[in-house]
Amino acid sequence: MEAEIKISSYNLSEEEEKKEILRQYRSLLKALKPKLKPGDKELLRTAFEMAATAHKTMRRKSGEPYIYHPIAVAMICVNEIGLGVRSTICALMHDTVEDTDINLEDVQREFGAEIAKIVDGLTKISTVMDNNTSQQAENFKKILLTLTDDPRVILIKLADRLHNMRTLDSMKREKQLKISSETVYVYAPLAHRMGLYNIKTEMEDLSMKYMEPDTYRYIAQKLNDTKRERTRYINDFIRPIKDKLEKAGFDFEIHGRPKSIHSIWSKMKKKGVAFEEVYDLFAIRIIVNSPGEKEKEDCWKVYSMITDEYSPSTERLRDWLSNPKSNGYEALHTTVMGPQGRWVEVQVRTKRMNEIAEKGLAAHWKYKEGKDDESRFDQWFHQIREALSNHENNSLDFLHDFKTSFLTEEIYVYTPKGEVRMLPVGATALDFAFSVHSAVGSKCIGAKVNHKLVPISHKLKSGDQIEIITSAKQKPNSEWLNLVVTSRAKSKIKDSLKEEKRTIAEEGKYILQRKLDGMGAPMSQPNLEEIASYYKVHSSLDLLYEIATKKIDLKDLKEFTVHGDKVMMPRHVKIPLDEKHENEVPKALHKKDTELIIFGESSDRIQYSLANCCKPIPGDDVFGFITTGEGLKIHRTNCPNATRLLSNYSHRVVKTKWAKNNEISFLTGLKIIGLDDVGVIHKITNLISGELKFNISAMTIEAKEGVFEGNVKIFVHDKDELDELCNRLIALPGIERVDRYDTE
C-alpha cells in the first residue's frame, strides 16, 4: 500500500492529480473495509472532502499536492498500526486546524468532541515562544498531555512523523538534520515504548540515512553484498528445526530477517568490531498458532526443540513470557550456536504475541477487551499523568526527564513482600524508595538488595528484591538529583529542596526588607526582579536565598536610585554575555546571518571555533551552533551531542559548509590495533611520515601478550587525507583495526 501512496506527481496534470488522489482514497477505504460500520463511509468521505478542499492550494516541498500526506498518514495508521475509522478521520484532518481556515469548532460540529480533542492534541503550538523555550519540547509536552487521555494522539503523531521521514529527500539539508535528530531523540524511543517495533526500526534507519549518510550507505551495501550467502545460511539453519516442528504437529511460520542498519551500527560501535564481526546480523522468528491456554507451554516446547538441535548461550535467554514488557511485548529470545560456528538469535512467539509485537498498543487493546486487569500499559500511562501533574520545570527539563524515565527499557524488581515494580534501566535504590512513597524516599539512608546492605546510589537489576532503610534525621540534598533517573524521584527531591530554600529565604527577606526600608523603597515584586537582575540570579527566591546564605552582599544597593516606589540599578552595569542564561540566543545574530555559508569567502567575517567534543576536520559533515559567550561552534553531525542540540535548539543551528584550504592543518587522532610483530611500528611511522608526509604530534604504543594498541595524533588538511591514511594503514600486514578518535 505504502508504495502506492508514494507515487510522484511531479509531471501529472491537474486532472491526473485528481484521479491519483481519488485512487489513494479508495485504497484507504479498501484497507479499512473490515472495520467499517454503518455510517462510517459517509463520515470518512466528509473528512476526506474537507481535508482535500482545505489543502487544495497547498503543495509539499516535493511538488506533490499536500493532501497526499494526510492520506499517507491515515494509511500508516490503518495498515501499520492497526487503528480504525475514528483515528483515520483524525489522520486526514490532522494538519487542517494548523495550516488552513478550518478551526476546531468546525471539526467538532462535523465529527464530535472526541475527534476534535484528538485533532487539537495533534495541532502544534503556534504561539511565539521566548528564546529559552524549545518549540519541539513544548509541542511534545502538549502531545503527552493529550496522550494520557487518549493514546491515539501519539499513535497518529508517530504515523505523521514516519511519513515525514519517508519523504525527507526533498527537504533542505539543515531541515533533514533537525527532523532526523528529533526523530531519533524522542519519536523512535516512543514508538518502541508503544510496542511499534517496525516503525521504531524504520525511524532509526531513516534518521541514520540523513545524519550519517556514509556509514548508512556502507552498511546497506554490505548487507546487499552478503544477501545471497545469508539466505543460504538461514535456510540451512531452519531446515532441521522445521522438520522437528512438523513432526511434533505444530501449526507454525518460520523465517529469517536481517537486523536493521541502525542496530548493526550500534553493535559495531558498542563492541568496537567491524561489520564482518557482528555475529547476529539476522534473527530467526518462529510464530506458532496456539490456543490461549497453551501459548506458554507451546513456546517452551519449541524452545526445547531449538536447543536440542543447537547449543544455546545461557546468558542470552530472554524470557518475556513470564514477565511481559510494559508495552505488552511477549516472546522468548535465545541465541544459539549455529552451523559454521556462528551465533544466531531465535525469537519464539505465538500469533497473538506477534500481532502485539507488530501493532503494539492497538493490538494490545483488541486482546484486552473483556478483561478487567490493569495492564502495564495502563500503569505506564498513570505514571506519565503523575509526572505531568507534578512538573513545574521548563519543557527541556521535562523532555529530558521523560526520556530517562519513560522511554528507556525497563527492569522488574520486587518489594520485600514479593510485589513486582517496574523501573527504568539505570534506576537506583533511591528511585525505588521514591516509587514506594515520597516520605520513604525522603528519609532513605540505604537499602538491602537481595539481603545485602547497599548505598542509596546502588543501581538495580531485574529480579532484585529491595528493602529500604530509613532514618527520621535524613533529608534530601541537591546531590540526590544525580543519583536518580525517574521523573517521580526528581520531582519530589526538587519539591523538597525548594521548600527548604523557601524557609532559608525568609531570613534573606528580612535582611533585604531592612535595607529597602532604609532607602525608602517598598518590598515589591518589580523591585525584587530589578535587584535579582543586577546580581544575575534567575528568580526572587534565589535572590533571597543567596542573601540569607551570604553569597550576595547588599553593599552595592547604595549605588541604586529610587524613583517613586521603584528602585533602579546603576546605569553603567552591563550583564556580560557569557553569564546569561544558557538557552538565550545572542541578540546580535539576526535571521539573515543564519543563511551564511560560514566556510568559504565569508569565513573571515565570522568568528567560529571547532567544538572540543567532536573535533571536526574539513570534509566532515558539520553544522554551526550559536553558543552564548563563545560565539559559533562547529560540530560534526555524528557528534555525541548533535542529536540533543539539533532536536532541542534547532533555532540556534547555522548552515555551514567547508571550503578547501590546504594551508591549514587540523589535529586528529587514530587508534591502531594489530599483532605485535617485529618492525610493525616502523612500518606505521614510515607510512605516515615518510610516504604520506603527515606531521605526527604524539604517538603512544602499548603491547600486551602479542597484541599492540597505538594512539597517533597527526595533522591533516581534510577528511579525504585522513580516509586515505586509514585505508593505507589497514592494508599493512598485521593491522586489524584503525579508528578515528577525538583528540583532547
pLDDT number for residue 544? 86
pLDDT number for residue 286? 94
Q: Give all strands (DSSP E) within 676-726, no chain letters.
A: 695-704, 707-716
Confidence of residue 636 (pLDDT cuts 50, 70, 90): confident
In the predicted model, is pLDDT for residue 354 greater than 50? yes
In the predicted model, is pLDDT for residue 104 greater than 70? yes
**What would the pLDDT profile of 440-468 be if each residue is shown by its tens digit?**
999 999 999 998 999 999 999 888 899 99
Cell of 134: 524549545
Confidence of residue 147 (pLDDT cuts 50, 70, 90): low
Question: Which part of the chain is CATH 3.10.20.30?
Answer: 376-494
Find the catalytic residue in 2, 4, 49, 98.
Answer: 98
pLDDT number for residue 302? 93
Confidence of residue 492 (pLDDT cuts 50, 70, 90): confident
Share of the chain above pLDDT 90, in %: 16
Give φ, ψ of 375 to 5 degrees.
Answer: -75, 170
Positive or negative, the CA dihedral 227, 232, 237, 239 is: positive
Question: Which part of the chain is CATH 3.30.70.260?
Answer: 666-741
Sequence letter at residue 727? N
In the predicted model, is pLDDT for residue 581 greater than 60? no
- Catalytic annotation on 467? no
Q: What is the mean pLDDT of residues 506-525?
A: 83
In the predicted model, is pLDDT for residue 65 greater than 50? yes
Q: Which residue has the higher pLDDT, 715 or 569?
A: 715
pLDDT number for residue 136? 61
Confidence of residue 310 (pLDDT cuts 50, 70, 90): very high
pLDDT number for residue 643? 81
pLDDT number for residue 178? 85
pLDDT number for residue 444? 93
In the predicted model, is pLDDT for residue 524 greater than 90? no
Q: What is the mean pLDDT of the chain?
A: 80
pLDDT number for residue 143? 64
Q: What is the mean pLDDT of residues 39-66?
A: 86
**Least trusted range by pLDDT, from 184-193, 350-359, 405-414, 419-428:** 405-414
Query: Candidates 1.10.3210.10, 3.30.70.1400, 3.20.20.70, 3.30.56.10; correct CATH number of 2-211?
Result: 1.10.3210.10
Confidence of residue 594 (pLDDT cuts 50, 70, 90): very low
**What would the pLDDT profile of 619-632 be if each residue is shown by its tens digit?**
888 888 887 667 78
Task: Report helix, strand or coil for 644.
Answer: helix
pLDDT number for residue 159? 92
pLDDT number for residue 467? 93
**What would the pLDDT profile of 534-575 be if each residue is shown by its tens digit?**
887 777 888 888 888 888 878 777 778 777 778 777 755 443
Find the catalytic residue in 17, 99, 319, 676.
Answer: 99
Share of the chain above pLDDT 70, in %: 82
In the predicted model, is pLDDT for residue 607 greater than 80? no
- Catalytic annotation on 98? yes
- What kind of fold does domain 376-494 have according to CATH? Ubiquitin-like (UB roll) (3.10.20)
Q: What is the mean pLDDT of residues 569-587?
A: 44
pLDDT number for residue 442? 92
Under a CB-based contact definition with an 8 Å cutoff, are residues 495 and 483 in contact? no
pLDDT number for residue 376? 56
Q: What is the mean pLDDT of residues 19-34?
A: 89
Confidence of residue 76 (pLDDT cuts 50, 70, 90): very high
Question: Which part of the chain is CATH 3.30.460.10?
Answer: 220-366
CA 715, chain centre distance (Å): 35
**How are beta strands 311-312 and 318-319 bridged, if at all?**
unpaired
Sequence letter at residue 114? E
CATH match of 666-741 with 3.30.70.260: yes
Burial of 625 (0-12, 13-18, 19+ CB in 10 A): buried
pLDDT number for residue 529? 80
Confidence of residue 7 (pLDDT cuts 50, 70, 90): very low
Q: Is 344 left (phi over 0), alpha (psi -120 to 50) or beta?
A: beta
Q: Which residue has the higher pLDDT, 606 or 721?
A: 721
In the predicted model, is pLDDT for residue 190 greater than 60? yes
Q: What is the mean pLDDT of residues 269-280?
A: 74
In the predicted model, is pLDDT for residue 138 greater than 80? no
pLDDT number for residue 202? 93
pLDDT number for residue 592? 39
Sequence letter at residue 200? K
Q: What is the mean pLDDT of residues 630-650?
A: 80
Query: Candidates 3.40.109.40, 3.30.460.10, 3.40.190.10, 1.10.287.70; correct CATH number of 220-366?
Result: 3.30.460.10
DSSP-derived secondary structure for 543-602: HHHHHHTTSS-GGGGGG-EEETTEEE--TT----GGGS-TTPPPTT--GGGGGS-SSSGG
* Residue 681 C-beta-side C-alpha neighbours within 13 Å: 13
**What would the pLDDT profile of 672-714 be if each residue is shown by its tens digit?**
988 887 778 888 888 888 888 888 888 888 888 888 888 898 8
In the predicted model, is pLDDT for residue 75 greater than 50? yes
